[in-house]
Structure 1
Amino acid sequence: MIKRLACVSLVALVAACGSAPVGPGFYRVERGDTLSKIARSHRQSVQSIARWNNLTNPDSIEVGQVLRVQPPNGAAATSGAVRTNGTGSATASAGSAAGSSAGSASSRSAAADNAPSAPASSISLVWPTSGSVIRGFDGANSKGIDIAAPAGTPVVAAAAGTVVYAGNGLRGYGNLLILKHNAEYLTAYAHNRALFVKEGETVAQGQKIAEMGDTDTNRVMLHFELRYQGRSIDPSRALPPR
């Protein structure tokens, strides 16, 4: 398995681990997808999909990320389509013309509230280890947080779940564990000195799963990631205050 995964990115691996079916009106990003390609295939505009998913950069989608591709709460897309009302007269769908309600602040707020990038507070986590946070989440260069402590410091499961990956086949992550907590959330623990659980094992929240190390990095630390529907989100939003 290690050889087979040697050239696979963590994004792709997390996507594979969290590939539960998505509901109607949503689409899971696949390798080679672009937002314009997804928009065309679902007969929507790039602007609509970006707005429904609160995407500030349309080029920032990731493999495994789940996107809303149908209007939330019955709101119409900005496609210019028309519909008939109960009397049979034609009315323009919301958002089909400039100045429509779809472009209003309230509609943008509703779209953001219904975007698949749910708040991290919807999962309850414990800190995966002790130590100091030396690097925070930025969503671009850092998909998680880095926590520094002495070698051998215990690493625990941030939430109960199942081990879906345990190994060192991904360059840049060293000895890595990925836990699946439910159909939407996964956590990843990188650079460990030793792993104490195997793939397929069920773990409890707070259970020791590894020891901190410096595998495939230049200092002792834990790189910790939280993924929601395949998309990296800031773990500090779900972790309790220290």
Structure 2
Amino acid sequence: MLRFPSGTCPFTRALKILILGIALSMLGGCNTSAIYQDDLYNPPVYWGRHVVQPGETLYSIAWRYGRDYRELGSANGIGPPWTIEAGQVLRLDLRGTVTSSGSSSGHTASASTRHRPPPVQTPASAPRPKVTRSADRDAPLEKRTQTVAHVNWRWPHAGTVIAGYSTSGKVNKGIDIAGKPGEPVKAAAKGNVVYAGNGLLGYGNLIIVNHNEHYLSAYAHNRKILVHEGEDVKAGQVIAELGSSGADRPMLHFEIRKNGNPVDPIHYLPPR
């Protein structure tokens, strides 16, 4: 119970209670549920700088700030294979933009195009017939999505979904799947492991897999990580043991991000 001196005026007492309430709310926000809150990294951060810490990758830093790794790399003059070093300072503001092919544009691209020779004129040719893929057009939403993205998604765990994707209220940037400690966590699609560690608040032991230039997936709260950074993985390959690191119960927190933005995994995973 709060106690104040008997001579404290009502205004002072109310002010102290207000300050204490703010302090308690701030302490309550400093927990391992950061990925479920509308916190600093949601929406994306486009200001300030980040000093690279040991064990971080460009992918994990971009994930932390809600950014596309190619965009963040372009803003700092970093290209494939996106190598960074501990102590390096990364600007979070934009110096250019990224095209769909991963190349940077803006001032750098403009300078290169100014000296580009004029295009070679070729004889006009008959227009190619437009091909319509009726199978893709008539397919269900999740099937069309898989075809366009060239990623054949599958469920990373067979457990029940206990929390869905949400952008309002209690924000959840992915889905939570129930399970027992030690059960296998599987890669949702083939790709390359671009982060394996526990440096992101709220994710515990985390794995991030790069599937193509647009899509990444993440697997959080693992008990044990069974793959290492730089390793190629196959769809369905066991990459971790389910756990409760960074969580209050055993579960798999699974995310899919398109161009750095969280999307609802249910729209990409096949129906059960």
TM-score, length-scaled by structure 1: 0.56
Distance 1:235 1:18 in 2: 23
Asked if the contact 2:62/2:69 (under 8 Å) is kept, the reply is no
- Residue segments in structure 1 that go unaligned for 5+ positions in a row: 22-29, 43-63, 67-118
Contact 2:193 2:227 in 1 (8 A): yes
Equivalent in the alignment of 2:69:
16
Tell me, yes or no, if the aligned pair for 1:139 and 1:233 is still in contact at 8 Å: no
Q: Matches of residues 176-195 of structure 1 in structure 2 within 5 Å?
A: 176-195=206-225
Q: Which residue of 2 aligns with 1:172?
A: 202
Q: Name the amino acid aligned to 2:64.
A: V
The amino acid that maps onto 2:63 is L
Q: What is the aligned residue count?
A: 155
On the 8 A contact 1:2/1:169 being kept in 2, the answer is no
8 A Cα contact 2:63 2:260, kept in partner:
no
Q: Decide whether the 8 Å contact of 2:208 with 2:216 is kept in 1.
A: yes
Map residues 127-166 of structure 1 onto 2, 5 A cutoff.
127-140=155-168, 141-166=171-196
Match runs of 1:15-164 below 5 Å: 15-16=68-69, 31-32=92-93, 120-121=145-146, 122=148, 123-140=151-168, 141-164=171-194
Q: Match for residue 78 of structure 2?
A: none
Measure the CA separation in 1 of the matches of 2:259 and 2:226: 26
Structure 1 pair 231/212, CA: closer, same or farther in 2 (3 Å)?
same
Shift of 1:10: 3.4
Tell me if the contact between 1:136 and 1:144 (Cα under 8 Å) persists in the aligned partners: yes
Deviation string, structure 1 residues 94-145 (Cα, Å, up to 9, x no partner)? xxxxxxxxxxxxxxxxxxxxxxxxx844332110011110000013511100
Read off the aligned partner of 1:139 and give its amino acid letter.
T
Change (3 A) 1:8 1:162: closer
1:183 offset after TM fit, Å?
A: 0.5
Contact 1:3-1:169 within 8 A present in 2 as well: no
CA RMSD after TM alignment: 3.4
Q: Displacement, 1:18?
A: 7.8
Residue number in structure 2 paired with 1:208: 238
- Do the aligned residues in 2 keep the contact of 1:145 with 1:223 (CA within 8 Å)? yes
- Structure 1 residues 240, 159: CA separation in 2 closer, same or farther (over 3 Å shift)? same
**Aligned equivalents of 1:219, 1:32: Cα separation in 2:** 37
Cα contact 1:124–1:159 (8 A) shared by 2 = yes
Distance 1:5 1:13 in 2: 15
Q: Name the SS of the counterpart of 1:217 in structure 2.
A: coil
State which structure, 1 or 2, has the greater radius of gyration over its C-alpha atoms. Answer: 2
Aligned to 2:109: none
The alpha-carbon distance between structure 1 residues 156 and 240, as it changes in their structure 2 partners (threshold 3 A), is same
- Give the counterpart letter for 1:31 in structure 2: L
Q: Could you tell me which amino acid in structure 2 is paired with residue 10 of structure 1?
A: W
**TM-score between the two structures when normalised by the length of structure 2:** 0.50
> Structure 1 residues 194 and 18, CA, compared in 2 at 3 Å: closer, same or farther?
farther
